[in-house]
Amino acid sequence: MRRLRPLALAAAILALALAACGDDDDGGAGGGAADAESVSQAKATGDVTWCIGKDTTGAFGTVVENFNKANPEANVELLQLPESADEQRRLQIQRLRAESPECDVLGMDVIWTAEYAAQGWLLDVTEAVEKRKDEFIPSTLNTALYEDKYWAVPFNTNAGFIYYRTDQEAQPPENWQAMYEEAQKGNGLIYQGARYEGLTVNFLELLYSAGGNVINEDGTEATADSQETRDVLTFMNQGIEDGAVPKAVTTYMEEESRRAFEAGDATFMRNWPYAYALAKESNIADDFAVTTFPSYQGNQGAGVLGGYDLAISAYSENPEGSLAFINFATSPEQQVLMVTKASLPPVTTSVYSDPQVEKTLPFAAELLDAVEQAKPRPVSPVYPQISEAIYTNVFAALQGDMTPDEAASTMNEEIQKALETF
């Protein structure tokens, strides 16, 4: 009997624990995006907490200060999340799942919009965005759109560029094919080819330029098993086989690419605008230039949008104050500050012709072009799975573990499976 007591006790506790967690996820059964609450009236009062990635340059802090100075009845506080986007998402989701009112304004990577909106974690801000629609670059607004409603306001944007060595190439490449040929003769082209989100972006840039896509318009069907996908995969794989692209690219993320380019190891590099200012301080400062993506088989080159949007948490206790702050942070004056202080590409068109901006970003005109041409990544609540299906199979094709045909059909299967997730 005495031996049995502890066992029985343990069993009882386990049973209790199991029973307790049973009714965990049944609460809060709202209808998601369909009948979410909205906020349209901005009122600069009360406390607002802004949860966004680490303020490495102090720019976010300055915006908060400016807002608080201009609006004595309101008080915004900055809550810094880690530098890595994956970690930011994890921490935001942790709070949202717990229905915590801690974060009022969320700094959201543009690829999270659909997921957050579908889960009913965001307030509908369609009315507020419609009022200011003309200020924004149209493509950036698409990143805040899910099921015909706006769930966020664009805050900063991003688009890829081709960096090239002016001491090796007299002029920018005309098309992708020509660039690969030049790269093969010279020191090669480098991009982000490691097995992660960056490879999805690098692949989609080519696929969009080729006129393909991985899912259909309304996000119900995978369309990755196409001639365009097979062409692009063959093109990318051939690049490595021919030596136009060094094998090392399959381990490169943004920073490795930048370091290799700055060390003079490449003639061409695909990277984000952030690399510009840094490369200007390197040994090759005077020997490189940037250009928008070249055309691909006669089609105009297209980029893929990056950047952050600002959304209001469905659990915020001060939606009106939050909206007032978002309007302030995305206003032209503060957007100029984002460029000069943090080199974050702005989302409002007018800012690109500001003399201060042109001074910080000498390629502002090209950047505006690139952003206007760029398309969002697939908009879907299961985006993480779609992206995983893309980068694992593109990676397998780059490594030669799969033929382009196999990679295209496996990618399609996995995307279809992702779209059918419960």
**Residues of the shown chain interacting with other proteins in the complex, contacts defined by CB under 8 A:** 5-6, 9-10, 13-14, 17-18, 21-22, 25-32, 86, 90, 93, 115, 118-121, 194-196, 246-248, 250-251, 256, 259-260, 263, 265, 381-382, 384-385, 388, 395, 399, 421-422
Is the CB of residue 168 less than 8 Å from the CB of residue 186?
A: yes
Please give the Cα distance from 394 to 232 (Å, whole number). Answer: 10
Phi first, then psi: give them for residue 53, nearest 5 degrees: -55, 165
As a whole number of angstroms, the distance between CA 336 and CA 34 comes to 36
| 343, 277 Cβ separation under 8 angstroms | yes
Nearer to other proteins, 233 or 339 (CB): 233
Bridge partners of residue 188, in order along the sequence: none
Q: What secondary structure letter does DSSP report for 163?
A: E
Half-sphere exposure of 44 (CA within 13 A, CB side): 16
Q: From the CB of 335, what's the least distance to other proteins, in Å? A: 31
Query: Which of 265, 287 has the CB closer to other proteins?
Result: 265
Q: How far is the CB of 252 from other proteins (least distance, A)?
A: 8
Nearer to other proteins, 121 or 293 (CB): 121
Nearer to other proteins among residue 4 and residue 170 (C-beta): 4
SS3 of residue 249 by DSSP: helix
Nearer to other proteins, 78 or 85 (CB): 85
Residue 20, SS3?
helix
Of 26 and 218, CB closest to other proteins = 26
Query: Would residue 400 be called left, alpha or beta, if left means φ above 0 and alpha means ψ between -120 and 50 degrees?
Result: left
Could you tell me the smallest distance in angstroms from the CB atom of residue 30 to other proteins? 5
Ranges of H-type helices in 266-346: 274-279, 319-329, 332-342
Instruction: Give the shortest CB-226-to-other proteins separation in angstroms.
Output: 24
Q: In angstroms, what is the minimal distance from the CB of 214 to other proteins?
A: 16
Taking the complex as a whole, the smallest distance from the CB of residue 113 to other proteins amounts, in Å, to: 14
- In whole angstroms, the minimum distance from the beta carbon of 22 to other proteins comes to 7
- Comparison of 41 and 220: residue with beta carbon closer to other proteins: 220
How do beta strands 74-81 and 105-109 pair? Answer: unpaired
